[in-house]
Structure 1
Amino acid sequence: MTNNRTFVRIQTGGRISTTGKIFADSRSPTIDCTVIDLSARGACLDVHGTVEIPKRFTFLHGGLKKSCRILWQKGRRIGVSF
């Protein structure tokens, strides 16, 4: 099986934070998530709680804020691009 990804994904652990926060807008509560893997252009996240996940949001991870959009979703696990 070949891997056609442009950017290498990093499995979280060690010195990379495994937690993140999703901000939909200033009026909505933040949504906690767990980072499954991360690359320069996107991430795979497990979203906590039952709040609806917006299609576009701001993702806070390791002190950096990134604008994201959902590429795929399977239950509470989502794939996003930055």
Structure 2
Amino acid sequence: MVPDTKPKRLYQRVRPTSGEAAKAQIIVGPKVPVVTCRLVDYSPGGACVEIFPMVPVPDRFELLHGRVRKKCRVAWRRGVRIGVAF
């Protein structure tokens, strides 16, 4: 038998993610300016976005990435990064 030499993952995700960073926009409402952000991680169930400089973002907003617009709920906040669920 050949021993398993693959490194062990520190965490397990329910769904696979795409680790490609891309520009995105946070849309809060019609009278609030759009917030530009960087999409750090993306999966069918949620995403991690990075906002720099950090600006206040409500717990619910819409994320626009390319032609895809998703309604989001903030799951966690750590510094300039925000984890959202779709």
**TM-score, normalization by structure 2:** 0.82
Aligned residue identity for 2:18: I
Instruction: Say if 2:71 is the partner of 1:63.
Output: no
1:11 is matched with which residue: 11, 19, 25? Answer: 19
Aligned residue identity for 1:47: I
Unaligned runs of 5+ in 2: 1-7
Larger radius of gyration: 2
The match for 2:39 is 35
The question of whether the paired residues in 2 share the 8 Å contact of 1:31 and 1:49 is answered with no
Distance (Å, rounded) in 2 between the aligned partners of 1:9 and 1:39? 4
1:27 CA displacement: 0.6
The match for 2:4 is none
Identity rate, percent: 33
The question of whether the paired residues in 2 share the 8 Å contact of 1:31 and 1:48 is answered with no
1:77 CA displacement: 0.5
The question of whether the paired residues in 2 share the 8 Å contact of 1:33 and 1:45 is answered with yes
The match for 2:30 is 26
RMSD: 1.4
Instruction: Say if 2:56 is the partner of 1:48.
Output: no
Q: What SS does the aligned partner of 2:50 have?
A: strand
